[in-house]
Structure 1
Amino acid sequence: MIQNKNELFKRLLFIMIGSLISAIGINSFLIPHKFLSGGAGGLALIFQYITDIPSGYYLLAINIPIFLIGMKAVDKEFCVFSLIGMVSLSLFMILTQNVSHYLYSDDMVISSIYGGIFGGIGGAVVFKNRASMGGTDIIAVVLRKKTGGNIAQYLFSMNIVVVMIGTTINGISIALYTLVSMYISSEVMNRVMNGLERKKLLFVVTQKEREIADMIIKEVGRGVTFLHGQGAYTRNDRNVIYCIVSLRQLPKIKKLIEDADPQSFISILDTSEVHGKGFKKPAL
């Protein structure tokens, strides 16, 4: 029970940290130049530029109907933690609205880059803790569950619509800087969410399959499966090693295989998602 409480506290803490990072990025680098952020946040910023009322209030109002819709499509746990993320972002947007007095750049290129970096890191931290900050994040998760696509790409596509709306208010130059920021945010989010936990799928054809499999199990701690194979030319039956490893473990396994059988054939493929024992539960 204590462990569960600790995990719950850690999850809530990281959701709030991610929301804070995003809020600082918006208030420090985007708002001073009248750039936009993605989705509901971008719409909230448009309303702020028109009325001078802080976007955090608009963000709360915009998210209410989206959450009502999202509750029917995603699980309750995700909705509850996303509600926390959304409220945290709205509050931090209000509390950090003057942070640009301390963290600011006159250079619009620098601001668009760092606005994207902050937004990507903040969004990834929240997503990795199986939550969102509301708005189009909820819509992106619904689409991912239905199609298995990429969250960051969904968000970037929906953000184009926000940019088009913003163009009518701030002009084409601001819209182009905003697109740069959004693209960087999307790439950073992908890197943070997947880059450090990328998995590799190995197929190994070797005459020493039992010896190599034992070394992978004992020295690396990864499970191995034998698949039945037959050489098309030789007609010889042989077990093919099937194994999924982390990017960090890959160099060691390659060396083990090459040292044990220099004539082995190794095929290495990227995997988009891995479920099961020995691997962390995917963020979403």
Structure 2
Amino acid sequence: MPPPVFRFAPSPNGYLHLGHAYSALLNFDLARASGGRFLLRIEDIDATRCRPEFEAAIYEDLAWLGISWETPVRRQSEHLSRYREAVEILAGLGLIYPSFESRAEIARLVVQREASAPWPRDPDGAPLYPGEAKSLPPDERNRLIGEGMPYALRLDMPKALARTEELAWQEDGAGPGGESGVVAAHPEAWGDVILARKETPTSYHLSVVIDDALQGVTDVVRGQDLFWSTSVHLLLQQLLGIPQPAYRHHRLVADSSGQKLSKSTAATGLRELRGQGASPAEIRRIVGLSE
């Protein structure tokens, strides 16, 4: 039996903080304890926010923590054609449609819908897509695309669910509400999710399942903030005929006010703590890991 494969996949849109350190160290520890492999992946599809200096800092901070990884490192921006292929497969199944509303227009539509009743929101709290682009005639869609209109490619969730069996996963950690064991997936809670945009041929949901499959990742260990995203990932895995890894969601490292850490929280940034004289062993203790 091949060894298990773990990964840590940060985005280079800021400096790493204690939450990243916990997730990276946990994956690295699990890989070593199981005789498995540890991969580092750079999720840099957001060209407007990702910067080379942040990527360089990721390598520096992880090495300082005592983490080593296999090379070459997979950088998503170097594999856009792979994601386009997946979009084309889903489009061939009739499961993709373009929507043309701007974020401001979508916000206005939500306000209009909520004049009569609360509009549904996804597990992250964002309103579900309220537009009617799905009903646009093909000629009108082609005309708008031909005129250079920006668009998002959305998954037709009802059609996608009609093509799949009941979805569930074995949760080896715990969800934000303590969920564990066999967890029923509810991708419909996300509505018609965006899988790509005109200027970017992929999204987090699509690229993460493609990358995990192509890299042979067997164990996805990540924060509880991504727990319910697993529902969408299982759906895409089944639609694309790719393997489903094991999932384990871990606790989030919070700041002194109990809030989830962000990359703008200087007090918990690894570079800041290192500059103040913290050692890798102290970082492990702070995040609750044994040395």
Q: Shorter chain as normaliser: what TM range?
A: under 0.3
- Under a length normalisation based on structure 1, what TM-score does the superposition of the two structures give? 0.24
**Largest Rg, 1 or 2:** 1
Hey, which of these two has a bigger chunk of helix by percent? 1
- Under a length normalisation based on structure 2, what TM-score does the superposition of the two structures give? 0.23
Q: Which has the higher contact order (CA 8 A, sep 6+)?
A: 2
